Amino acid sequence: MTAARFELRKVWVPALLLIILLLLVALPYGRPGYTVVLVYTILMYIVLTMSWVLFSAPTGYLSLAPAAFFGVGIYTSATLSMKLPLPVVICIGGLASSCLALLVGALTLRLRGIYFAFFTFGLVELMKHFVLWYELKFTGTRGRFLIPVDNNTIYYVMLTILVALLLTTYFIRRSKYGLALQSIGEDEEAAAHTGVNVTLLKVITFAISAVFTGAAGAIWAIRLTYIDPYIAFDINNSFMPVLMATFGGMGQLYGPILGATVFSYLREILITRFPYYYMLLIGTILLVAILYLPNGLVGLIQRWHKRAPGGQHANT
């Protein structure tokens, strides 16, 4: 019976994913612009969260660098979008971010635990002030304008980045490197003594995750139309992925996706309906989630699943 269920899963999971993808591809047709903007905002947060999850969830290294990578993507776009075609700009944005990640990773991934978190937090501030200094000193401006692109283009670029990210995550998880990343999170010393080149693997995975954050930043810059270092290197973009992934639950791959979707949708609703109480409500929701959902939304779903008749399986 278990085998039959397993086979069934093999069929309906890809089928469900394909249906969701088709629905997302068809979404902009005949929908108001607001819906498209709302959905690509959600997609953007899923990209930020999932690329954070790609590195930080298995290894246990708490990275607060996403805002730095996102900002590098934004500035790549701001400097190049008038000179080069959009897909090229997006790719360069991703590559520039991953170069920064390679450099930072090689320097700092020997730091463990809270020190790594501190350093990556500092990196965001450093990048912000470096760019600010550069702009004031050499270009004499504080911010930059970008030529807007229509919403559907932004939507499809964001969707493409997300699909590429999810495929990358899936293949890394399935490969032996997925197992190795997990072993680093469990016991780095033992992993090294079992033949895993822990430093190289960490640096490369960190750089891969930065590609997607940077690419998302590059397209997001065009949606923002005006950017300055404070907008580009907003530290909230580092905390959001952590919050969203925790809110969704990191036990399963779909957890952070669910968390990012629900959380960014909630944010949007609360910000428009209750502009004055928005922060208070978000804070309350987070507190309740941490107190009552230690394993995030995934934990909640698994609890329901277990209660449903026939849903319970012994795992020994």
193 near another protein, rule: CB under 8 A: yes
316 near another protein, rule: CB under 8 A: yes
> Which ranges of the chain does DSSP label H, i.e. alpha helix?
2-26, 33-59, 66-80, 86-108, 114-134, 151-174, 176-186, 188-193, 198-224, 229-232, 236-248, 254-273, 278-292, 296-307
Q: Say if CB 106 and CB 203 are below 8 A apart.
A: yes
Q: Which of 35, 160, 182, 295 binds another protein (CB under 8 A)?
A: 182
Nearer to another protein, 177 or 278 (CB): 177
Q: Which of 51, 120, 183, 261 binds another protein (CB under 8 A)?
A: 183
Structure token pair of residue 205: 């995975």
Nearer to another protein, 175 or 272 (CB): 175
Between the CA of residue 215 and those of 49, 222, 286, 301, what are the distances in Å? 14, 12, 28, 32
The residue assigned the tokens 């944010």 is 267
181 near another protein, rule: CB under 8 A: no
Q: Say if CB 72 and CB 127 are below 8 A apart.
A: yes
Count CB atoms within 10 A of the CB of residue 128. Answer: 21
Nearer to another protein, 291 or 314 (CB): 314
76-115: contacts with another protein (CB under 8 A): none
Distance CA 262, CA 46 (A): 10
Closest contact distance (angstroms) between CB of 63 and another protein is 20
Nearer to another protein, 156 or 177 (CB): 177
Q: Which of 43, 196, 222, 227 binds another protein (CB under 8 A)?
A: 196
Compute the Cα dihedral for 247, 47, 213, 153 and give only its sign: negative
Q: Identify the burial level of 211 via C-beta atoms within 10 angstroms of its C-beta, where 0-12 means exposed, 13-18 middle and 19 or more buried.
A: buried
195 near another protein, rule: CB under 8 A: yes
Q: Which of 92, 180, 216, 243 binds another protein (CB under 8 A)?
A: 180
Window of 141-149, 196-204, 211-219, 283-291 that interacts with another protein by CB under 8 A: 196-204
Closest contact distance (angstroms) between CB of 173 and another protein is 13
Size of the site for another protein (CB under 8 A): 19
7 near another protein, rule: CB under 8 A: no
Window of 81-89, 115-123, 159-167, 181-189 that interacts with another protein by CB under 8 A: 181-189
Q: Say if CB 81 and CB 220 are below 8 A apart.
A: no
Contact residues: another protein, CB under 8 A: 176, 179-180, 182-183, 186-187, 189-198, 315-316
